[in-house]
Amino acid sequence: MVRTPTGGAGDGTPGPGERLMSIGTVLTQLHDEFPEVTISKIRFLEAEGLVEPRRTPSGYRKFSRADVERLAQVLRMQRDHYLPLKVIREHLDAVARGEQPQLPAPGTPRDVSGPGGAESAPGVGPGPVALVEPEGPTAARVGRPELLAAAGVSAEELADWESYGLLVAAADGSYDAGAVTVARLVAELGRFGLEPRHLRAMRAAADREAGLVEQVVAPLRRHRNPQTRARAEATARELAGLSVQLHAALMETSLGVRIQ
């Protein structure tokens, strides 16, 4: 049983004579309970201030037993309580101050679309979080008339975008609710002279990125552990969010501009 940490991210000071662990050893320690965790996930949690391993003079991470316990607690709070990292950090800080904060009941998704809202986080592990919905229809599917009205575009424009694969209707003629956002963005880009034929490369790149995400998520969906299978969608969302962040960062680097 992993003990609940009683201090902040910097409380991983090793005890007398304690042997510190490499990140690979930590991964092995966590694997039985968290088979989907990766080294990238551990590094991300470090970057987010959830754990602070020691560093050797050459820069290698060295983790104490308390660090491993804290990582397990963070991963468990993500998995069982569907908490974003900001809330987990606040909870652990409150525990470190001697408070006794309450957690949501296990298995109850937390709506984090308000203050302290949803965040993107790499690696594998967090449960689903409620995302801020775009303006317009909020149903799982929208009809063609609803899409046209919500996006403020003409039937001719929509047909043109469909011909280039930017939007795809289901067999029943309905669209995913996200199509509203896509249509609005395509229309906005059109104001700058970018035509659908110019945007095909973006669609192709998105499909390739989706394929990479699917490669990561597929083993989770096939896992024998029901909880691991249930987290596949959350993992896909997390990886998709990371891809969006990376794309934005690469655009900033290439253009030399800051993207809001």
Q: Which two tokens stand for residue 41?
A: 């996930």
pLDDT tens digits along 106-164: 544 444 333 333 343 444 343 333 333 334 443 467 888 888 888 888 999 999 999 98
Structure confidence at residue 120 (pLDDT) = 38
Q: What angle do CA 99, 93, 112 make, to 5 degrees?
A: 100
pLDDT tens digits along 61-94: 999 999 999 999 999 888 887 777 888 888 888 8
pLDDT tens digits along 220-237: 888 777 777 778 878 888
The more confident residue out of 129 and 216 is 216
Architecture category of domain 1-108 in CATH: Orthogonal Bundle (1.10)
What SS3 string covers 21-77?
ECHHHHHHHHHCCCCCCCHHHHHHHHHCCCCCCEECCCCCEEECHHHHHHHHHHHHH
Q: Which residues of 76-93 are buried (b: 16+ CB within 10 A; e: fewer)?
A: bbbbbbbbbbbbbbebbe
- For residue 32, pLDDT over 80 is answered with yes
What SS3 string covers 164-209?
CCCCCCCCCCCEECHHHHHHHHHHHHHCCCCCHHHHHHHHHHHHHH
Domain boundaries, the chain: 1-108, 133-194, 198-260
What is the rounded CA–CA span in Å between residue 182 and residue 149? Answer: 14
Percent of the chain with pLDDT over 90: 13
Q: Which residues of 123-159 are buried (b: 16+ CB within 10 A; e: fewer)?
A: bbbbbbbeeeeeebbeeebbeeebbbebbebeeebbe
What is the rounded CA–CA span in Å between residue 52 and residue 186? Answer: 43
Structure confidence at residue 260 (pLDDT) = 59
